[in-house]
Amino acid sequence: MWMYVDDPVPFQPAETPDWVSDWLGRRRTTASAPKSAPPNSGEDKSLTAAMRTEPEKPNDPKAEARKKAAAEKRAQETEAALKGAADDLEQWIGDQLRTGLSAFLEDMTDRCRAIAARLVDGKAQALASRLDELPALALAYPGEERMQLVVRELGKIVLLLAAWRQSPADPELRRMIATSETRDSLFENPNAQKVTSVWEVVGEDISTRRDGMVSQATWLMNLQSSGPRFAVLLDFFPASLGKRSSAVVMGEQLHAELVFYPASHPLRAVLGERKSAPDTPLPWPEIELQSDPLQSFLEIQDVAPWTGVAPAVLPEGRYCKNGPETWWQSVDGQIALPVKNAPDPHTAGFQLQSSFGLWDGLRLTLLCARTNWGRVQLNG
Amino acid sequence: MVDLSQFVERIQSRWMVGGSAQEQAPEAWRSLASQTDNPDLSLLALVAQAAQVGLRPAPAKDLQPYPSLPKLDLPPVSDAQRGLFRRIFLLVKPTREQSDLLLSFLAARGFTSHPADFMPANMENLPACYAPWEQWSERQEADLSELSATSWDDFMPSERVHALRQIRLNNPSAARDMLVEKAAELPAEQRLRAVQVLEIGLGPNDAPHLNKLLETDRSGKVKALAQSYLARLGLQQDEGDAVSELADFLELGKSWIIRRKVTVRPKKLKTSAQHKRRADLFEAVSLNGLATALELAPDIIIAGWQFSNQREDREFFDMVARTGSDDAVRSLMDRILESGEVQLHVIGSLLDRLTPADRWARLPAIMKQDDELMEAVLACARHRLGDLSLDVLSKSLQVKSLIAKIKEQAKSDKAGAYDHVLRPSLFILGLLADPQAATALIDTFIEAGLSRADAALLVLQFNAALPSGDIK
C-alpha cells in the first residue's frame, strides 16, 4: 500500500488473476461478508415445479466400480494396519517378558501409553483403550496381585490376537480389537439376538478413562427364564460433559427388548423397545447354596477366554474379615471370594441374602445385594 | 509332585526378572508352546488362562464374619421416602447438629435412618433408639433394661447414660446408688455426663452424694455441677465475701407503679475490669446466696429484676439457671416472655432447665417473639419434633418473616440473596411442623415465590410425605 502511494504507476487495473479467484473461492464465507445474490434461474418459483419428481440419474457403472474399488482398498489398508498393530503389540509383549515384568510394573504407565498410541495409529482403538487402562487396573490391586493381573491381562490379549488372526472377520473379535458396530447397524443385523424380558438394573460401574472419556457400564439381570441371564449396556461420553443421566434407574425393573451384540456368549447389549413395567416386582432367580457362583464365569472363559470380567449371582453369605482384607463367604462356609470394593463398616454388618457382583478372576466387585435391610447398592 | 499353582508361581517369578520361562513350564505346556511361532507368548496365554480358571484365591487364615448390624426398636424409613431422605443429605448437606435433629425428628415419627442412606458417625446426641448401633461391631447387643452395677462395664458410655436416665425416671434412688458405686471409675467427661442424670427428679436425698462429689471428685467440672445441684436444693456452700461483693454491684429500688414492689437492677459500671469482675461473681454465686446477701427472698429478686441489656441479663439468667430452683426458673422464664423486652438468644440456659412439658407450654409465646433462626423455638420443641400445628405456626413471627424474605428475594435480581437465612430456618421449620402444617407451608412458600424444586423445601417435603410410625 505504501509502494502504491509512492509510485502508483506499476499498479494498473487488469483482469483478476486465476490464483486470486482460486484463493477467494477457498476462503470461508464469514457472516460479515456480503452475500452475493443467487443467480437468477430465469424461472419464477413454483410449487408445481418443486413437486415435480426429478428424473433419476442413470447409474454410472464406472462410478460404482470406482467407489467399490476405493472401499475395498480402504478395507485392505485397514486390515494391513491392524495386522501391523497386532504384530507390534505381540513384539511389545514379548519384549516386556524378556526385559522383566518388575521393570514393566515400575514404568507401566509410560510403556502402555506408548504402545496404545501405536495401536491407535494402527486403527486398533479397542485394544489401545485396553492397554491404556491396564496401569489403572493393576494399581487397584495390592502388590503381589498386581503381577498376576498383568500376566493375566497380557495373556488374554495374546489369546485375543491369536483368535483374531484365525478369523479376522468375526464381529466379536473385531469389536474387541478395533471398533464396535453402530447402534443402527446392530438393529439391522439379523444375527443380533433380541430378547424381551423383565430386567432388573443391578449395578453401575462408572469410570473415567485416561483418554478423557467416561465409561458407563450398566448391568442388567434377566428375571425371567429365557435368554441370556445378564446384559451390560455400555456408554461412553466425554468427561467434560459431566454426569449423564442414565436411561434406567438403579434397582428399577423394566420390561424391555434388549438387542445383543453378536458374540459367542452374548453380554453387551443396547436397549430396544421398552414396555410397561411389571405391576409387582419380580424376585431374583433362586440360587442354590451348593451351586458354584463362578460357573457362569467359567462358561464364558470356555468360549471367550479373552473376557476379563463376568457377572455372578452369589447365594446367601456374609462379609468376613481376613486381616486387612474383606472377603465374601457363603453361609455354609464352603465358598469364599476376596472382595475388591471394601464395604462401609455398617454395610459389612448386613446379612447378604443374595448378591450380584463382577468376578475378574482375582477379586469380586459386589454391586448390589438383597439383605436383611432390603435391597442395597454396594458400589457407591 | 508340583501342582498348578507352583508352576504358575515359578513361571511368573521368571518373568518378573525377565527372560524365557520355558524351563519352568510343565512338559505338556512346553511341547504345546513349542509348536507355535512364539513359544513365550503361547506360554503366557496358557499361564493366564490356567490361573484364571484353574486357581481360586484362598484365605490365609480362618475368616471372621463381621457382626450383624443390630436392628433398632423403630423401623427404618420406608422405601417410598428413602429417596427424599437421601436427597436431603445430597443437596442440603446438613451439619452434624442438623443431622442429629433430623434423626430425632424421624424417631419422633416412629422411624430410624436406613443404614445404607445415612449412618450417624456419633450417637452421643441421638435418641436412645440408636444406642444399639454404637460401636456395634465391637460387642454384642445389650438390653438397656439390664443395666446394673454388675453389667455396668458391658454398656457403651452413651447407652449407659440412656439407661441411667430411664432408671432415674422410674426409680431415682436406684440410679443414684449405681452412680455412687460405679461413677468414680469413669473418666471425667463420662463421669460428668453420668452425674448430670441426677438432674432428673433432683431431691434432698441426693444431697449426701452431691456433697461427697463436691469434696472428693477430681474433676472441677463435676464439682461445679454438684455445687450447682446443691444450690438448687437450697444447700449452697459458704460463698464467702463473693455474695456481698456481688450485692454491691446491684442496686435495689422501688417500683414507680407499685411502690411496695422491690426492683433489682445492675449498677452502671465505669470500667471493663468492673464488668468482668461482676460477670465472674455471677458465675460463682448462687441465687440463694445472693438473696441472703440482699436480705430478700429469691422469688422477690426474680420478680424485681429489671431487664437492662443483653450482657447483664444473660449473666443473671445463667446464675438462676445454674443455681435456682425449678420454680425460680419457671417464674423468671414467664417474666421474660411477658415482658417481650429480652432477646431470646440469651435465654438458652433457662430453656435447658425446663422440663419438656414446660418448654412446650411456652412455645406459642416464644414463637410470637423469635423471628431469627428459631433456636429458642427448636429448644422448646426438641422433645416434640414434627408436632407443631399450622395454627401455631401461621401465627408465629418466624413464618411471617420467612414469607416476607421469600417475596423480597423473588422480586430482587439477586437469586438466593436470603439463602443463608432461608435454608437453616426452613430446615428447622421442616422438623417442627406436623404433616398437615408442612403441606400447607410448602404451598405458602411456593406461592410467595420459592421454586418447588428448591432444596430449601426438602425437609418440609420429607415431613409432609412421612407418615406417623407406630411408636411416638
Asked, for residue B197, whether it belongs to a domain, the answer is yes
Residues A74 and A169 in one domain: yes
As a whole number, mean pLDDT of residues A32-37 equals: 49
A197 in the same domain as A259: yes
pLDDT over threshold 60, residue B307 = yes
* CA dihedral of A270, A272, A274, A277, whole degrees rounded to 10: -40
Mean pLDDT over residues A282-289, rounded?
82
Question: In chain B, which residues have their Cβ closer than 8 Å to the Cβ of A93?
Answer: 41, 44
Asked whether residue A43 is assigned to any structural domain, the reply reads no
Q: What is the pLDDT of residues B379-411, one digit of tens each?
A: 888 888 898 889 888 888 888 888 988 888 888
Q: Do A320 and B63 touch (CB under 8 A)?
A: yes
B249 and B224 in a common domain: no
> Which residue from A298, A327, A351 is facing B53, i.e. has the nearest CB?
A298
Distance between CA B287 and CA B458 in Å, rounded? 45
Within a domain: B173: yes
Put simply, whether B115 touches A (Cβ < 8 Å) is yes
Domain boundary among A160, A177, A194: A177
Q: What is the mean pLDDT of residues A23-32?
A: 66
B187 and B288 housed in the same domain: no
Q: Is B119 on the interface with A (CB under 8 A)?
A: yes
Same domain for A140 and A117: yes
Q: Does B226 touch chain A (CB under 8 A)?
A: no
Closest listed residue to residue A284, CA positions, set A225, A336, A358: A225
Q: Tens digit of pLDDT for each residue in B117-155?
A: 998 887 777 888 888 887 675 554 445 557 888 888 777
pLDDT band at A365 (very low <50, low <70, confident <90, very high): very high
CB B63 within 8 Å of CB A327: yes
Domain check: are B199 and B278 in the same one? no
User: CA B343 to CA B349: how far, in whole Å?
Assistant: 13
Distance of alpha carbon B213 from alpha carbon B179, whole angstroms: 11
Condensed to tens digits (0 to 9), the pLDDT of residues A36-66 reads 545 555 556 777 777 776 777 777 788 888 8
Residue A271 has a pLDDT of 92
| Mean predicted confidence (pLDDT) in B429-457 | 92
Tell me, yes or no, whether A155 and A191 share the same domain.
no
Nearest CA in chain B to A296: B53
In a domain, residue B449? The reply is no
CA–CA distance, B123 with B119 (Å, rounded to integer): 10
Kindly identify which residue of chain A lies nearest to residue B53, measuring between CA atoms. A298
Write down the pLDDT at residue A5: 60
Domain match, B308 and B282 both: yes
Q: How confident is the model at residue A29 (pLDDT cuts 50, 70, 90)?
A: low
B92 shares its domain with B192 = no
Question: Is residue B122 less than 8 Å (CB to CB) from chain A?
Answer: no
pLDDT at A8: 61
3-state secondary structure of A45: coil
A229 with A307, same domain: the answer is: no
* B453 domain residue, yes or no: no
Closest CA to B22 of B46, B5, B3: B46
Smallest Cβ–Cβ distance between B40 and the set A94, A159, A305 belongs to A94
Q: Is residue B62 part of a domain?
A: no
Q: Which of B321, B369, B326, B377 is nearest to B349 (CA)?
A: B321
Same domain membership, residue A204 and residue A252: yes
Among B232, B254, B288, identify where a domain stops.
B232
Looking at the structure, tell me whether residues A74 and A173 fall in a common domain: yes
Whole-number Å distance between alpha carbons of B413 and B409: 8
What is the identity of the amino acid at A9? V
% of chain B beyond a pLDDT of 90 = 20
Contacts of A156 in chain B (CB under 8 A): 45, 48-49
pLDDT tens by residue, A245-261: 777 888 889 999 999 99
Range of the domain at B285: 242-384
- Same-domain check for residues A159 and A221: no
- Give the count of domains, chain B: 4
Q: Are B158 and B123 spatial neighbours (Cβ–Cβ below 8 Å)?
A: yes
CB pair distance less than 8 Å for B12 and A318: no
**pLDDT at residue A127 greater than cutoff 70:** yes
The answer on B287 and B216 residing in a single domain is: no
Mean pLDDT value of segment B354-366: 86
CB contact under 8 A, A156 and B15: no
A314 domain-assigned: yes
Whether A187 maps to a domain, the answer reads yes
With respect to residue A83, please indicate whether it lies within any of the assigned structural domains.
yes
Does residue B155 lie in a domain region? yes
Number of domains chain A is built from: 3
The C-alpha R_g of chain B, in whole angstroms, comes to: 33
Whether A157 is covered by a domain: the verdict is yes
Q: Domain check: are B41 and B161 in the same one? A: no
Q: Within a domain: residue A145?
A: yes
- Mean pLDDT confidence for B189-209: 88
Q: What is the pLDDT of residue A163?
A: 94
* DSSP H/E element including A275: strand A268-275
Whether residue A201 lies inside any domain: the answer is yes
- C-alpha B308/C-alpha B336 separation (Å) is 12
Which pLDDT score, from 0 to 100, does residue B420 have?
A: 76
A329 and A355 share one domain: yes
Last residue of a domain, one of A177, A209, A227: A177
Tell whether B296 and B375 lie within a shared domain: yes
Q: Which residue from B15, B48, B66 is facing A152, i.e. has the nearest CB?
A: B48
CA distance to partner chain B, nearest, from residue A282 (Å): 16
State how far residue A101 is from chain B, nearest Cα, in angstroms. Answer: 5
Task: Tell which of B232, B258, B291 closes a domain.
Answer: B232
CATH number of the domain at A233, please.
Answer: 2.40.50
Cβ distance A318 to B66 less than 8 Å, yes or no, reads yes
Residues A137, A223 within the same domain = no
Do residue A337 and residue B57 have CB atoms under 8 angstroms apart? yes
B5's grid cell? 499353582
| Chain A residues touching residue B81 (CB < 8 angstroms) | none
Note whether A218 and A301 are same-domain residues.
Answer: no
Domain end among A148, A177, A206: A177
| Residue-wise pLDDT tens digits, A308-333 | 889 999 999 999 988 778 999 999 88
- Domain interval for residue A334: 295-377
Best B5, B40, B49 member to test A by mutation, with max A CBs in 10 Å, is: B49
Please name the residue that has the C-alpha cell 432447665. B353
Question: What residues 297-336 of chain A have any CB closer than 8 A to a CB of chain B?
Answer: 298, 301, 305, 318-323, 327, 329, 333, 336
Are B323 and B376 found together in one domain? yes
Task: Give the angle B57-B61-B66 at the CA atoms, nearest 5°.
Answer: 95
Contacts of B291 (CB under 8 A, 6+ apart): B297, B298, B300, B301
- What is the complex's ipTM, to 2 decimals? 0.80
Using the beta-carbon criterion (under 8 Å), do B12 and A374 form an inter-chain contact? Answer: no
Cβ-contact A366, A339 below 8 angstroms: yes
Instruction: Give yes or no for residue B335 having a pLDDT over 80.
Output: yes
Using one digit for the tens of pLDDT, what is the confidence trace for A108-125?
A: 999 999 999 999 999 999
**Same domain for B121 and B149?**
no
Same domain assignment for residues A199 and A159: no
**A100 in contact with chain B, both atoms CB, cutoff 8 A:** yes
- Cross-chain residue pair B136–A377, CB shorter than 8 Å: no
